Amino acid sequence: MESLISLVNKIQRACTALGDHGEGSALPTLWDSLPAIAVVGGQSSGKSSVLESVVGKDFLPRGSGIVTRRPLVLQLHKLDEGSREYAEFLHLPRKRFTDFAAVRKEISDETDRETGRTKQISSVPIHLSIYSPNVVNLTLIDLPGLTKVAVEGQPDSIVQDIENMVRSYIEKPNCIILAISPANQDLATSDAIKISREVDPTGERTFGVLTKIDLMDKGTDAVDILEGKSYRLKYPWFGVVNRSQADINKNVDMIAARRRERDYFSTTPEYKHLGHRMGSEHLAKMLSKHLENVIKSKIPGIQSLISKTLIELETELSRLGKPIATDAGGKLYMIMEICRLFDQNYKEHLDGVRAGGDKIHNVFDNQLPTALKRLQFDKQLSMENIRKLITEADGYQPHLIAPEQGYRRLIESSVVSMRGPAEAAVDAVHALLKELVHKAISETPELKQYPALRVEVGNAAVESLERMRETSRKATLQLVDMECAYLTVDFFRKLPQDVEKGGNPTVSLFDRYNDGYLRRIGSTVLSYVNMVCASLRNSIPKSIVHCQVREAKRSLLDHFFTELGKLDVRKHLFSLLPYFIQLLIPWPSVQQKYLSSLLNEDPAVMERRTQLAKRLELYRSAQAEIDNVAWSK
Ligand code: GDP
Ligand code: MG
């Protein structure tokens, strides 16, 4: 079993860690890859004896009559070299058996516990695990013998019950069947052959084993059977000579029994020519060779599963993003880096690489002009309003030449109303810039990973925008106020004479406030206001871009960085303090905590990443191991 052991060890290192401990792994476990080996046959045909010699260990109750009355599912577990061998029953957890005679006794006691001391059988299996450096991970199943008739104390259904139970084990496709027939009975009556042919008609997984060759009638031999002439199987027949009941009673050990068996086949003239492929040792060797082939045939499947899983793991890992740095410097760097990515995305929106910046232009090109147009200066400059403002401005003494004060008031009252559209434009651009912050955040996957940082960056950006809006509002309204503060003298100087007549002293006092006079004043004011409006339409966008858009592009996160920087400066100052004082002040931990809190990930994500990374590593080493096995084929 040496080569099988080393092959299985390699695959085991690969698969067992993944399959058996990889919680819910898609990989087949080694138990799945390795077939179970079950012995079937009639009562006392030598099943338990054969199983024992395959394992190379005495531990099963054997004897005449119906000894195996419950299935025994025996799991062999490979231990590291040098470990102590022991056995454990599922029904006696934590009790370690190191004496295999005690194991045998416990099997028969446990059988009795379930069935009573009668000759009843039970389909409830006994689970026994053997841990040893000298075995491979393998499942062996010892089954009750098939019978033809119920004996005293047994129900009539027992024949069928046993058959059904045996069938339920050996019909599984990964079960290798050791079909045991005793040589001292007619092969035609062999229950083993009958039932194994039923579940494995092509003989793909059936090994015919002939026992008790030493007990044959004098003058008869098993040569025809062993040569496959009596009954042909896919694999050659195996002949064995197990220990007789007398040997068992005399405690003949396995090594002595093997030697005797070897001698038997090499000295009995009939079997001399078959000698090299007779005996338990040969059976064990062939069985492990077969297992090896079965296992190797599964390697490509395991390989492709591993690489598929590797890809899945890598994809999920990269979706989860990089893990957090552990030191403060690394964290700071990481935060800056993420902020830079965000800033980059934000700028790309404004620069037209990404959509959204064009909406700002729409404010200048559409919203602002429309709002200015809606101001309806002609209403402001209605006859009554002009008359009212001019007379009010004149006060107790009507103007002499031109209604200077009246003009100013009329113009001022119209221009002031432009503050509204100016402020609205500031707000509209602010709203768009804010919207882009959210867009850029959602387009920065690194921020998705750290919800706390996302909130902080979002808040910092919005706060910056708020400050910029304030500056922009002041500057933009100032543009409007400036228009009120100082009128363009040239405009009035260039007025045609007839308009100037509005102030002609030769016009009689009674004509002064007539409709024509007022209308002329109105149209002069309107054309001046329109001129101002056109100029503000040009200058307001400039002010807004200067104060908000350009600033946002330039310094959206500056304030945030400054705050972070202060942390670092403080840390530097801290490091200048004497060491024993440093020990007393928990400052770095405060900083660490703040940075950590910014990079606080969803704990579930962190957990998942650690898990994935661990699995990834396991799968990578598994891949290497398996490739190794595949190449050494
Ligand atoms: P099982 O009921 O099929 O499990 O058969 P056991 O392994 O318990 O064997 C039944 C009896 O046959 C035991 O007393 C064995 O010692 C004996 N026996 C099994 N195989 C051989 C054999 O090849 N030669 C001899 N002489 N006795 C055997
Ligand atoms: Mg038995």
Domain with residue 336: its CATH number is 1.20.120.1240
Specify if 548 maps to a domain: yes
Specify if 354 maps to a domain: yes
Whether residues 562 and 485 fall in one domain: yes
Please name the residues in contact with 400: beta carbons below 8 A apart, sequence gap of 6 or more. 505
Q: Which ligand is nearest to the CA of 69?
A: 2
Query: 121-158: per-residue pLDDT in tens?
Result: 888 888 888 888 777 667 788 888 888 877 777 778 88
Q: Is the CB of 48 under 6 A from ligand 1?
A: yes
Distance in Å, CA 92 to ligand 1 centroid? 28
Q: Is the CB of 155 under 6 A from ligand 1?
A: no
Atom of ligand 1 nearest to the CA of 248: 16
Of all residues in the chain, what percent carry a pLDDT higher than 70? 85
Residue 250 pLDDT > 50? yes
Residue 424 pLDDT > 90? yes
* Closest Cα to atom 27 of ligand 1: 244
Whether residues 281 and 358 fall in one domain: no
Q: Is the CB of 243 under 6 A from ligand 1?
A: yes
C-alpha distances in Å from residue 39, one per residue of 46, 94, 230: 9, 28, 21
> Which one of 49, 72, 225 would you pick to mutate in the ligand 1 pocket, going by the greatest count of ligand atoms within 8 A of its CB?
49
For 573, counting Cβ atoms within 10 Å of its Cβ (0-12 exposed, 13-18 middle, 19+ buried), the class is: exposed
> Across residues 439-468, what is the average pLDDT?
91
- Categorize the per-residue pLDDT at 23 as very low, low, confident or very high, splitting at 50, 70 and 90: very low
What pLDDT sits at residue 302? 75
* Closest Cα to atom 8 of ligand 1: 62
Q: What is the dihedral of CA 229, 230, 236, 240, to 10 degrees?
A: -120
Contact 444, 427 (CB under 8 A): no
What pLDDT sits at residue 573? 63
Q: Which ligand is nearest to the CA of 181?
A: 1
Q: Is the CB of 144 under 6 A from ligand 1?
A: no
What pLDDT sits at residue 13? 58
Query: 591-627: per-residue pLDDT in tens?
Result: 667 777 787 777 777 788 888 888 888 888 778 877 7
- Categorize the per-residue pLDDT at 184 as very low, low, confident or very high, splitting at 50, 70 and 90: very high
Q: Is the CB of 63 under 6 A from ligand 1?
A: yes
Distance in Å, CA 403 to ligand 1 centroid? 136
Distance in Å, CA 34 to ligand 2 centroid? 23
What pLDDT sits at residue 509? 52
Lowest mean per-residue pLDDT among 21-35, 52-66, 445-459: 21-35
Q: Residue 59: left if φ>0, alpha if ψ -120 to 50, beta else—which one?
A: alpha
Instruction: For residue 177, give the 3-state DSSP assignment.
Output: strand
What pLDDT sits at residue 420? 95
Query: 518-527: per-residue pLDDT in tens?
Result: 888 899 999 9
Domain boundary pick from 242, 274, 309 = 309
On the CB side of 159, CA atoms within 13 Å amount to 8
Distance in Å, CA 305 to ligand 2 centroid? 39
Q: Is the CB of 68 under 6 A from ligand 1?
A: yes
> Across residues 329-333, what is the average pLDDT?
81
Whether residues 221 and 338 fall in one domain: no
Copy the structure tokens of residue 317: 């890992």
Specify if 67 maps to a domain: yes
Distance in Å, CA 404 to ligand 1 centroid? 134
What pLDDT sits at residue 22? 41
Whether residues 71 and 212 fall in one domain: yes
What pLDDT sits at residue 129? 86
Distance in Å, CA 276 to ligand 1 centroid? 23
CATH of the domain at 74: 3.40.50.300
> Across residues 331-350, what is the average pLDDT?
91
Q: Which ligand is nearest to the CA of 40?
A: 1
Q: What is the mean pLDDT of the chain?
A: 83
Whether residues 256 and 350 fall in one domain: no
- Categorize the per-residue pLDDT at 368 as very low, low, confident or very high, splitting at 50, 70 and 90: very high
Instruction: Choose between 12 and 323: higher pLDDT.
Output: 323
Contact 463, 409 (CB under 8 A): no
Whether residues 233 and 358 fall in one domain: no
What pLDDT sits at residue 33? 54
* Closest Cα to atom 2 of ligand 1: 44
Specify if 626 maps to a domain: no
Q: Is the CB of 244 under 6 A from ligand 1?
A: yes
Residue 173 pLDDT > 90? no
Domain boundary pick from 517, 537, 566 = 566
What is the residue whose two structure tokens read 């000759």? 119
Q: Is the CB of 242 under 6 A from ligand 1?
A: yes
Distance in Å, CA 212 to ligand 1 centroid? 7
Residue 176 pLDDT > 70? yes
Whether residues 389 and 532 fall in one domain: yes
Atom of ligand 1 nearest to the CA of 67: 2
Residue 16 pLDDT > 80? no
Specify if 372 maps to a domain: yes
Specify if 627 maps to a domain: no
Query: 373-416: per-residue pLDDT in tens?
Result: 999 888 888 888 898 888 888 888 888 878 888 899 999 999 99
Whether residues 371 and 499 fall in one domain: yes
What pLDDT sits at residue 582? 62
Contact 1, 37 (CB under 8 A): no
Distance in Å, CA 108 to ligand 1 centroid? 16
Q: Is the CB of 249 under 6 A from ligand 1?
A: no
Whether residues 303 and 334 fall in one domain: no
Specify if 205 maps to a domain: yes
Instruction: Choose between 526 and 93: higher pLDDT.
Output: 526
Instruction: Choose between 499 and 101: higher pLDDT.
Output: 101
> Across residues 435-449, what is the average pLDDT?
90
Residues 286 and 297: their CA atoms lie apart, in Å, by 16
* Closest Cα to atom 24 of ligand 1: 212
Query: 255-303: per-residue pLDDT in tens?
Result: 899 899 999 998 988 888 886 788 988 888 888 788 778 877 877 877 8
> Across residues 168-178, what is the average pLDDT?
89
What pLDDT sits at residue 510? 56
What pLDDT sits at residue 492? 85
Count of the separate structural domains present in the chain: 2
Q: Is the CB of 181 under 6 A from ligand 1?
A: no
What pLDDT sits at residue 21? 43
Lowest mean per-residue pLDDT among 227-236, 260-269, 569-578: 569-578
Strands 126-132 and 86-89 come out as antiparallel
> Which one of 52, 142, 181, 244 would you pick to mutate in the ligand 1 pocket, going by the greatest count of ligand atoms within 8 A of its CB?
244
Whether residues 442 and 535 fall in one domain: yes
Whether residues 526 and 417 fall in one domain: yes
Whether residues 189 and 279 fall in one domain: yes
Query: 49-80: per-residue pLDDT in tens?
Result: 998 887 777 777 776 666 778 888 888 777 88
Domain boundary pick from 279, 309, 339 = 309
Specify if 262 maps to a domain: yes
Residue-range definition of the domain harbouring residue 254: 2-8+35-150+166-309
Instruction: Choose between 561 and 625: higher pLDDT.
Output: 561
Q: What is the secondary structure of 21-76 as a DSSP string?
A: TSSS-SSPPHHHHSPEEEEEEBTTSSHHHHHHHHHT---S---SSS---S-EEEEE
- Categorize the per-residue pLDDT at 309 as very low, low, confident or very high, splitting at 50, 70 and 90: confident
Q: Is the CB of 53 under 6 A from ligand 1?
A: no
Lowest mean per-residue pLDDT among 91-100, 145-154, 164-173, 353-362: 145-154
* Closest Cα to atom 17 of ligand 1: 244
